[in-house]
Amino acid sequence: MNFHHNDMSIGERTSDRRKAKRPVPRKSFTTALLETLSNSNRPVGAYDLADRVSHAIGYRIYPNSVYRALASLVADGIVLFIASRKAYLFRDQQIGSTPMITCCKDCGAVAQRRLEAIEKMLTTLCKERGFASTHFYVEVLGRCPRCAGS
């Protein structure tokens, strides 16, 4: 990969004249990333996120920066990694600690639902195996009501 993100010399970079001409970013990278994810009703891939966030903040964000930020947001439980899509989804905080994500194989629609009933069961199963669980999410593949025709 070729990165030409900064061709300016140190002298130019610190010049006040140059600084004044540089556009002021409209919003921070993390704010734009979270807004992009929360405004999407489908999982979004890292490369697509890099493009959308770059557009929102007015300067180029590379996918490796997006991956780094996402790793931290996933670890904090703010964003979910949807393995079947290799993409990211803003986690609905109203759903509680164990969301179930249904992913339609036909139209790509995703929905988040609460999995209260099996949370206790999963916790017990993990404890029995000596596994210290921190959080769960369950991804279910199938067809949404519209695509299933029901």
* Contacts to Zn ion by CB under 5 A: 104, 106-107, 109, 144, 147
> What is the rounded distance in angstroms from the CA atom of residue 118 to the CA atom of residue 136?
10
Q: For Zn ion, which is the closer residue by CB, 58 or 145?
A: 145
For residue 46, the minimal CB distance to Zn ion (Å) is 24
Report, in Å, the least distance between residue 146 CB and Zn ion: 5
C-beta closer to Zn ion: residue 78 or 144: 144
Task: Tell me the closest approach of the beta carbon of residue 44 to Zn ion, in angstroms.
Answer: 18
DSSP state of 24: P
Residue 2: phi and psi, rounded to 5, are -110, 125
With respect to Zn ion, which residue has the nearer C-beta, 106 or 116?
106
Tokens 């780094």 sit at which residue? 68
Q: Do 44 and 36 touch, CB atoms closer than 8 A?
A: yes
